[in-house]
Chains A and B, each alone.
Chain A
């Protein structure tokens, strides 16, 4: 196993953990599809950021993309507040428009921007080890490793600090407001973390597969346990397992790593799904 291979596996496992943590809360709060919306709607932010910095891993690009992600959430909230349509309709109205704007920006400036839409949507983690970060002349590892590392540190710190607030506001908004923590602030904090995570992960696994990494581990854990702490740990474990075994599946099939990770997640979900159906049936018979 070469160093590059090891690096890819470490980055994949870290991306998986970074996605799984906010994913648990999105699934529990019935906002799983917000991850899908954000992962598409950050496109114009990416294009503008890329236009300025000419680098897919630059902090400016990540900032712009994350801001577009938060803008998506604000717009959805705003449309929903008018009471004219339901939340899911609001989500479905906002992200295709932002995505379209992004596609048009790319196609109008196709000659100036060397930004491949496939690369944005599908990602390629196999190239991650080639883009390295240098401290002076010293090579300290792939850039995307550090991006994901910072994201994980921030979200784990926030999770530990505000676990109680998050838990109560997820399961009982009324109680949370009665205790005096604002559900709105927690909502926007969670959304900001999710959108930063999606932005940090998109260039490794692509916009669509970020959604798989966010929802599938959480859904698998949700079918297996009722305890929030166990659910978070279990979904991280599932995510890491899928990331590493997915890498090797891709290696043997010589196929897309992101696609293989998702396929493993799909198989794991299918297994859990049928087990939980069987258990339910057994319970009913008993």
Chain B
């Protein structure tokens, strides 16, 4: 325990760790927010497709400039991410191909083309595959102060854009036809939203990699959706879930040997999802189960009440034995608690409230 505390203390005073944790936390918050848009647009797997589609962009940027500077490579990724997302949009609108097929096509064809370029590029001296791993699985440990600074600035600009187009986004997400009818350009809103999503995916590539960035986009949003029906609250919750996943994942990764950050962040995020599925009020599995039981008990009580009422109308009064014959002691208490059955001078009566319920069934 002592050793563990020392370890934790050491981690939190370590400057490199703080930089990385800041990066993953901010990234988690932003993917959480933008993931809500993707989920509500019913394109949950958009992130997966776009992140794979960026590979040829990364390689082409390298082939063209010959530089391994992260920012130049990510710029190439951004361009191909946008091309890919526009391709998906066009394909689903203009042919009979469904969303899932278009997403899968862009994902695999772009990635395969990237592979071809990559193996081709490897013949050029000074290029090796070491760079590829970094984008497939991400390496949060390679984050520099300047990377986090860029992430912070872009995140801030994104938040401003989201705030500026808040009303448009909201109307578009929930009723696209209405949004068009009041004169918003749906196409502009959709493309703007998609570009924001592509941008955060590209920024996340370096930290969690191609495969796992989609989970970071999806999981906080899916968890947040269970707790609320309000868009602003959902965005806030998703940001909190995403940020906590990023932070906790980084802490766990730093405090143990040989545990990659990206997968740990995803696992923490999925714990949030699991917890939300189970315990969210109203929508959660536990809450729904409870509500179902409650309704079932009420229905059983009503059945017993019906029998009491029939007996009461047949013999004009109900004695205590009659009631005890008809229902279990537990049910009798329930009926009394619901004020469906009233005792008046040794005789039981079905109350007005009880009669009203009986008339309804």
Q: Are B270 and A31 in contact (CB under 8 A)?
A: no
Complex alpha-carbon distance, A280 and B94, angstroms:
9
Distance (whole angstroms) from the CB of A100 to the closest CB of chain B: 3
Q: Restricting to A199-232, which residues have a CB under 8 Å from any CB of B?
A: 208-209, 211-212, 214-216, 218-219, 222-223
Q: Are B116 and A255 in contact (CB under 8 A)?
A: yes
Hey, which chain A residues are within 8 Å of B118, CB to CB? 256, 259
Hey, which chain B residues are within 8 Å of A254, CB to CB? 119-120, 123
Residue of A nearest to B110 (CB): A266
Q: Are B112 and A88 in contact (CB under 8 A)?
A: no
Say if the beta carbon of B137 comes within 8 Å of chain A: yes
Distance (whole angstroms) from the CB of B122 to the closest CB of chain A: 9
Q: Are A256 and B100 in contact (CB under 8 A)?
A: no
Residue of A nearest to B256 (CB): A108
A97 contacts which of B95, B104, B260, B266 (Cβ < 8 Å)? B266
Residues 262-275 of A, flagged 1 when their CB comes within 8 A of B and 0 if not, give 11011001000100
Q: Are A107 and B112 in contact (CB under 8 A)?
A: no
B263 contacts which of A103, A219, A277 (Cβ < 8 Å)? A103
Residues 112-156 of B, flagged 1 when their CB comes within 8 A of A and 0 if not, give 111111111001000001001100110000000000000000000
Say if the beta carbon of A110 comes within 8 Å of chain B: yes
Hey, which chain B residues are within 8 Å of A82, CB to CB? 277, 285
Hey, which chain A residues are within 8 Å of B94, CB to CB? 277, 280
Hey, which chain B residues are within 8 Å of A216, CB to CB? 105, 108-109
Hey, which chain A residues are within 8 Å of B45, CB to CB? 33, 36, 88, 91-92
Complex alpha-carbon distance, A104 and B267, angstroms:
10
Residue of B nearest to A111 (CB): B258
Q: Are B112 and A208 in contact (CB under 8 A)?
A: yes
The winner among B98, B109, B110 for most chain A CB atoms within 10 A is B109
Complex alpha-carbon distance, A79 and B226, angstroms:
13
Hey, which chain B residues are within 8 Å of A250, CB to CB? 116
Q: Number of B residues whose C-beta is below 8 Å from A?
A: 62
Q: Are B44 and A92 in contact (CB under 8 A)?
A: yes
Q: Which of B207-215, B310-318, B338-346 contacts A (4 or more CB under 8 A)?
A: B207-215
Q: Are B215 and A97 in contact (CB under 8 A)?
A: yes
Interface of B is mostly: helix
Hey, which chain A residues are within 8 Å of B112, CB to CB? 208-209, 212, 258-259, 261-263, 265-266
Say if the beta carbon of B219 comes within 8 Å of chain A: yes
Q: Are B222 and A85 in contact (CB under 8 A)?
A: yes
Given contacts A100-B266, A103-B137, A219-B97, contact A266 B222 (CB under 8 A): no
* 29 A-B pairs (CB sep. < 8 Å): A27-B101, A30-B100, A32-B100, A33-B48, A33-B100, A33-B103, A33-B104, A35-B104, A36-B107, A36-B108, A84-B222, A84-B277, A88-B42, A89-B39, A92-B215, A93-B218, A93-B219, A96-B215, A97-B270, A117-B133, A117-B136, A117-B137, A208-B108, A212-B109, A215-B104, A216-B108, A262-B113, A266-B113, A273-B91
Other 11 A-B pairs with CB < 8 A, given A84-B225, A85-B225, A255-B116: A33-B104, A40-B211, A88-B99, A92-B48, A100-B264, A101-B267, A117-B137, A208-B111, A216-B108, A254-B120, A255-B117
Residues in chain A within 8 A of chain B (CB atoms): 27, 30-33, 35-36, 40, 79, 82, 84-86, 88-89, 91-93, 96-97, 99-101, 103-104, 107-108, 110, 117-118, 121-122, 208-209, 211-212, 214-216, 218-219, 222-223, 250, 253-256, 258-263, 265-266, 269, 273, 276-277, 280
